[in-house]
Amino acid sequence: MADRQRRLVVVSNRVGPLNDEGKAGGLAVGLSDALKRRGGLWFGWSGDISEEGTFSAEHTEVQDHVAMTTIDMNQEDIDGFYYGYANRSLWPLLHYRLDLAHFDRQSDRVYRSVNQRFASRLAPMLAEDDLVWVHDYHFFYLGSELRQCGYEGRLGFFLHIPFCPPEIFTALPASHDIVRAMLAYDVVGFQTETDRRNFVAFCIRELGGEKLDGRRVRVGDRTVLAQTFPIGIDAHGYSRFATSPEAGEHEEMLRDLAGDRLQIVGVDRMDYSKGLVERFRGFERLLEDYPENRGNVQFLQVAPLSRSELGAYVDLRRELEELAGHINGRFATLDWTPIQIMTRGFTRRALAGIYRAARVCLVTPLRDGMNLVAKEFVAAQAADDPGVLVLSRFAGARAELSDALIVNPYSTDDIARALQRALTMSFDERSHRWEHMREAVFAGTAAHWCDDFLASLESFDPVTPETDAA
């Protein structure tokens, strides 16, 4: 086994694309960057809804040594599994938003059943020496279902979003079932130490588990490795995107539009976890408290629509559009529109050009697993005019990008002050901060993330004590 690379099998709700098509979501971006290098099988939902019978159609497409095999689901499954349980129960809860979380028996049932059916479709495709790597909160039960199907090979799980403290997670009626199911994996990966600690605390306090040496956790007869693996981007590839002709066109267009004004950008799926309302208010406060910026800055928020079937997302869109209208109504002049919001997708090259035209990028989520936009912004900057990153203290990326201007995303005043500081920052300070962040982005790429995770999955031995206590 040692001299032959094992096949990688990745499972995630969204699959692909491997190319530069516009696709909003850190998981798809991180995984396609990693899979293109190593090849393997990528298994998940096709993104299509088929009424002919759920799980009936299976599609396979091979590209760059990656076989992408997907299945359709029907409306009932999508409603219960994706909209219901994954995005109305788990997503808000894990992002510390108990106020937005809904729990109901029907979606819990459908979520478990979809996990079970994915497992029974996948199990016959697996070999015992595969490395199976399951992703994100859509598939907490998939590993234990694969074990039920008799699969005994290596199983890893990576959570792309935060893992909230046990005090919040226990509000989920199935919280114990979910964490017990996570113990069917051999390695459980998190974006940050905070997430990992919250998981370990749940195992200890709620399930009577114990922390062994290093990062091993034991609950009953199961021992798992709980470790932090911060996801990154393909930093070299992304810098090349930023100097492509398509990026150049977008950069130039935005610079022409801005003229002498400084450009502020934000790029986020339209999601309540991204702190967009607070960010817009922070921009308004900038114009109130530092009036010299009126007429001299413009703010472009790119916010592709996401999960628009859910009420919380519909409400957010309405609120943001009203807020943008209010700010423009209050401050606009005949030749200046302070804030613009766009919901369309862009190719990754086009987005890189937009980042490059910006003096400031606002990444102010109220809570975020990692946030790849922050890393992309850094990778896209040019050394002769680097922009400034304003980053939330609650984004996972904060651990690596401490040279950003770190803000409390709930504080309108803090955002306004950081914006003012970013807009007036000297070239030397901008350069210095950017150089440090650039080093971090190039040191922790998607390739490192993938290699580190797979090396741990391959080498983890539940019975041998670890030496490096974390």
| Residue 360 interacting with ligand F6P (CB under 6 A) | no
- Cα 86 to Cα 80, 199, 219, 346, 432, distances in angstroms: 8, 18, 25, 26, 41
Name the minimum Å distance from CB 276 to ligand ADP. Answer: 12
Angle between helices 427-443 and 372-380 (to 10 degrees): 120
Among the options 77, 368, 403, 414, which is catalytic? 368
Q: Which two tokens stand for residue 357?
A: 């035209």
- Is the CB of 17 or the CB of 165 nearer to ligand ADP? 17
- Is the CB of 27 or the CB of 437 nearer to ligand ADP? 27
Q: Which two tokens stand for residue 217?
A: 């956790």
Applying CB under 6 A, which of residues 100, 131, 351, 401 lies at the interface with ligand ADP? 351
Identify the three-state secondary structure at position 405: strand
Verify whether residue 160 is a known catalytic residue: yes
Q: How many residues bind ligand ADP (CB under 6 A)?
A: 19
- Is the CB of 307 or the CB of 398 nearer to ligand F6P? 307
Name 19's bridge partners.
none
Closest CA to 331 of 276, 286, 364: 286
Q: How many residues bind ligand F6P (CB under 6 A)?
A: 10
Applying CB under 6 A, which of residues 92, 162, 304, 444 lies at the interface with ligand ADP? 304
- Is the CB of 81 or the CB of 283 nearer to ligand F6P? 81
Report the distance separating Cα 289 and Cα 209, nearest Å: 52
Name the minimum Å distance from CB 401 to ligand F6P. Answer: 18
- Cα 22 to Cα 161, 272, 349, 371, 372, distances in angstroms: 21, 21, 9, 17, 14
| Residue 237 interacting with ligand ADP (CB under 6 A) | no
Contact set for ligand F6P, span 436-465 (CB under 6 A):
none
How many angstroms separate the first and last alpha carbons of the chain?
A: 29
| Residue 161 interacting with ligand F6P (CB under 6 A) | yes
The listed partner (ligand F6P, ligand ADP, none) that binds 232, CB under 5 to 8 Å by sort, is: none
Q: Which two tokens stand for residue 106?
A: 């029907």
Applying CB under 6 A, which of residues 276, 373, 415, 419 lies at the interface with ligand ADP? 373
Applying CB under 6 A, which of residues 7, 20, 25, 147 lies at the interface with ligand ADP? 25
Among the options 135, 160, 250, 403, which is catalytic? 160
Under a CB-based contact definition with an 8 Å cutoff, are residues 401 and 378 in contact? yes
From residue 40 to residue 69, the character string flagging contacts with ligand F6P as x (rule: CB under 6 A) and all else as - is ------------------------------
Name the minimum Å distance from CB 360 to ligand ADP. Answer: 17
| Residue 6 interacting with ligand F6P (CB under 6 A) | no
Name the minimum Å distance from CB 28 to ligand F6P. Answer: 6
Q: Identify which range of 253-261, 368-376, 426-434, 438-446 contacts ligand ADP by CB under 6 A.
A: 368-376
| Residue 14 interacting with ligand F6P (CB under 6 A) | yes
Under a CB-based contact definition with an 8 Å cutoff, are residues 35 and 4 in contact? no
Q: Identify which range of 24-32, 58-66, 251-259, 326-334 contacts ligand F6P by CB under 6 A.
A: 24-32
| Residue 27 interacting with ligand F6P (CB under 6 A) | yes
Alpha-helical regions (H) of 209-310:
235-242, 245-258, 276-289
Separate counts of helices (H) and strands (E) for the chain? 17, 16
Report the distance separating Cα 133 and Cα 157, nearest Å: 6
| Residue 26 interacting with ligand F6P (CB under 6 A) | yes
The DSSP output letter for 395 is B
Alpha-helical regions (H) of 243-301:
245-258, 276-289
Residue, CB closest to ligand F6P = 25
Contact set for ligand F6P, span 130-149 (CB under 6 A):
136
Q: Is 237 left (phi over 0), alpha (psi -120 to 50) or beta?
A: alpha
**Phi, psi (deg, nearest 5) at residue 322:** -65, -40
Verify whether residue 59 is a known catalytic residue: no
Report the distance separating Cα 246 and Cα 261, nearest Å: 23
Q: What angle do CA 120, 67, 132 make, to 5 degrees?
A: 50
Binding stretches for ligand ADP (CB under 6 A): 22-27, 29, 267, 269, 302, 304, 345-346, 351, 370-373, 376
Query: What is the set of active-site residues?
Result: 160, 368
Binding stretches for ligand F6P (CB under 6 A): 14, 25-28, 136, 160-161, 306-307
